[in-house]
Structure 1
């Protein structure tokens, strides 16, 4: 919410939206061992401003930090399929670190304009500490790790049996504007080498997919290797990857990967169209990797 609001303010300059009054959603908290619940939430009678909603969210995100200073992944982050990486409250998310770092910087500026000096200073201070934590604990030698499990086992590391490198930890080191430039360059080069599949014309989310590891990352492992978030192309993340390449000035590489996201390039002839299986005139949310169904489109008309 804070990220989207800050972006809205940058594009429109309409700060009046920050004073809009909005309610909360009321619902029962998850019980011990529960990962999700299905119910219709109540709309609270209490309202606070949009600014306050954003500020509370950032304050809570800061509170949910590991001893090392990285955000806790808890029941999943952008990749909700990794819902058991941090189910015991100790696992970390490097991607969320970059995302939070970007948002704290953007919203600290908003806080200043709103006269909320105390929060602006607190967010800026935490951002500095978070940046140090990311560079000191998340760098794996050639790319940034994705995070860590509750027991401290690295996720997205060269030492990992599966999910050795994840694209969003690399792309967001660039998109946040906060990653060490030399490291981000190396990380994106390695991600391009290991995740961009010229044969299938896809940009994988991570590799190798989860299959035989004794670690339980969550329901993501229930997908076959190479399907959806489990090591296939998840186009939302692939788009971030393309934007990161463009921001780095790697325009040829960005266009090459962008062309892979264009669905028409998966259906130039009858054979490729039959293999792709889905509409070539709308972007697919995911495209499979793997030997047998690699290159087949997944869900369309979807995010």
Structure 2
């Protein structure tokens, strides 16, 4: 990495360069090794650091060109400090009008005298190369409107930054606030990066995620770690996991197979992970066998002969982890049940329709078994959750004959009546009827919708000095932020997905805007100034304490309390957001051998165009919209009308699908040319 500093007036100036350096897994816990050699600083990990154990030769070199550096410490800024009271690397330069700072890392260690690369980096060429690579990754995404509509322009800009944020989460999982660690969360990587790569049709990347995740399945139990690290840190993982973790690899596998039609992935040979040593097993098994073991684990978690999974150590909302063994054993998360139904039904349908291949009859029989199980989950969900009324956040089923509904209007324990996640996931999964979906949509609008987005619950959990009685972090955390503050952007993005499922274009489009950090004041007037090129994981009320937040919570609903952005970048949210924008709002999806055109857009966006690539062909999709969310009436490809079928959905059937083989005859003969697809709705 090279930082160049030039004085526009060509005046020599002195500079102070400061850096906080951590060469362990926690700040300030261990010192790092620092030596000066041949005009450079060499930084490495000290004894006892996990970095030293995994990469004993790893070191970084810091040097400057065009100036002299003098090594200082924090006392250069605060002379009265005791040595190492607040460790800080400080470099003081000699006067210079133009100089550069270089930082390089080597796994085999810097000796100090190695030459710099023969061809120094040129900023313009590096920038152009980066942008070209990003454009290719984004499938040449470009969103435009002839009237230069501001909301369209902001989304077009955001696509670049959220692609960058997704790449950070995928490749080096760090955030600006959450800058330690660097693990893949099992549920996280199965959502954000995987959904992004599916949306932009980079299927090999998804396949690689599936292989990596399933190789971390535990051999003995069939479950997964909550998170795991990679490279030489692969033994570092959290073996205990929340009750929903087991479902996410299954859902991703179904999503991949639905998008590609690739059932051969089930024949991939993969190891398991040994739960005692965290080493990969020597013997490998087919991915199909992994799935069989996974389903055995899922069934083993069903309570009292039902098809409802026990809560275990929690679900997606980390703040609602159970505070007692009884709650872990007997609680049921209605959100996890809906997610399980969605994953099992999708994979079952794909396998039941298997045609051809050496194991097609075996796959079809297993698919029929999964569909039967999905039917049982649906039956028990409707029996116990009773979605004709209000879907509870949880059931407590110590006695299956008398289950208690928690986070429900009848709940007198928690004081919380409504929980968002099971409502939206039930819509996304197609688990409830159109009438039930409409009733819960109205409930969300009435009880959970705020100017800056939807909230996880209608009120925060009670805080009594950090003492837990039912839920851990929700009752312990002193900070009113992230899930505690209830506007968690990840959950809001799933609300967008639910609105697209129901065919509510105005809701979906506006919901995209209120969590777009670019020009957020246009959509959320009470939003404080925040960084525009970074995903924020939550919208947090500007309250000093949990007590103040509880007393003034209604001000958030009214939009009179200021809201600020939460932790930045480190989240699966950017990838999920881009998937909703591309696949469910703009409505461009590839499903095996067909192109699906299924936009959910307001009529005010008539004339908007979307540059993208479909099956390797560059396209410009023009939206001709006569009414919001209307049924597609006509599709034309390069001026020629294209026959299409109707997409069947749980709540609407307004989209169109075209066989990719039919598109082959309609594409322009020049493979590099931009094809035009007109959608009239």
- What is the Cα deviation at residue 104 of structure 1? 1.0
Q: Which residue of 1 aligns with 2:266?
A: 18
Q: Which residue of 2 aligns with 1:250?
A: 504
Q: Which residue of 1 aligns with 2:448?
A: 195
Partners of 2:517 and 2:534 within 8 A in 1: yes
Partners of 1:85 and 1:149 within 8 A in 2: no
Partners of 2:349 and 2:371 within 8 A in 1: no
Q: Which residue of 2 aligns with 1:300?
A: 568
1:54 maps onto 2:307 in alignment: no
Q: Which residue of 2 aligns with 1:175?
A: 428
Q: Which residue of 1 aligns with 2:111?
A: none
SS state at 2:272 partner? strand
Question: In structure 2, which of residues 262, 285, 307 is the aligned counterpart of residue 69 of structure 1?
Answer: 307
- What is the Cα deviation at residue 188 of structure 1? 1.6
- Distance change (3 Å), C-alpha of 1:144 and 1:86: farther
Q: Distance in 2 between matches of 1:118 and 1:163?
A: 43
1:283 maps onto 2:531 in alignment: no
- 1:214-250 CA-partner distances (Å, limit 9, x unpaired): 8412223323485222242111111111111121111
- Distance change (3 Å), C-alpha of 1:266 and 1:142: farther
- Equivalent residues in 2 for 1:156-175 (5 A)? 156-160=407-411, 161-175=414-428
Partners of 1:2 and 1:55 within 8 A in 2: no
Unpaired segments ≥5 residues, structure 2: 1-248, 355-359, 542-548, 554-560, 572-681
- What is the Cα deviation at residue 6 of structure 1? 0.8
Count of equivalent residues = 287
- What is the Cα deviation at residue 272 of structure 1? 6.0
Q: Distance in 2 between matches of 1:62 and 1:49?
A: 20
Question: In structure 2, which of residues 319, 330, 334 is the aligned counterpart of residue 94 of structure 1?
Answer: 334
**CA RMSD, 1 decimal:** 2.7
Q: Normalising by structure 1, report the TM-score.
A: 0.84
Q: Distance in 2 between matches of 1:60 and 1:237?
A: 27
Unpaired segments ≥5 residues, structure 1: 29-39
Farther off after superposition, 147-156 or 158-167: 147-156
Q: Distance in 1 between matches of 2:320 and 2:484?
A: 10
SS state at 1:44 partner? strand
SS state at 2:475 partner? helix
1:240 maps onto 2:508 in alignment: no
Q: Which residue of 1 aligns with 2:374?
A: 127
- 1:249-286 CA-partner distances (Å, limit 9, x unpaired): 111122222211111243469x967x35x422222112
Q: Distance in 2 between matches of 1:121 and 1:157?
A: 35
- Distance change (3 Å), C-alpha of 1:56 and 1:120: same
Larger Rg: 2
- What is the Cα deviation at residue 155 of structure 1? 2.3
SS state at 1:127 partner? helix
Q: Which residue of 1 aligns with 2:169?
A: none
SS state at 2:273 partner? strand
Question: In structure 1, which of residues 240, 256, 259 is the aligned counterpart of residue 513 of structure 2?
Answer: 259
Partners of 2:499 and 2:508 within 8 A in 1: yes
Q: Which residue of 1 aligns with 2:319?
A: 81
Q: Normalising by structure 2, report the TM-score.
A: 0.39
Q: Distance in 2 between matches of 1:229 and 1:118?
A: 42
1:204 maps onto 2:444 in alignment: no
- 1:91-140 CA-partner distances (Å, limit 9, x unpaired): 10111111111111111134332423543333222211211111121136
Partners of 1:267 and 1:280 within 8 A in 2: no
- What is the Cα deviation at residue 86 of structure 1? 7.3
- Distance change (3 Å), C-alpha of 1:142 and 1:223: farther
Q: Distance in 2 between matches of 1:256 and 1:87?
A: 42
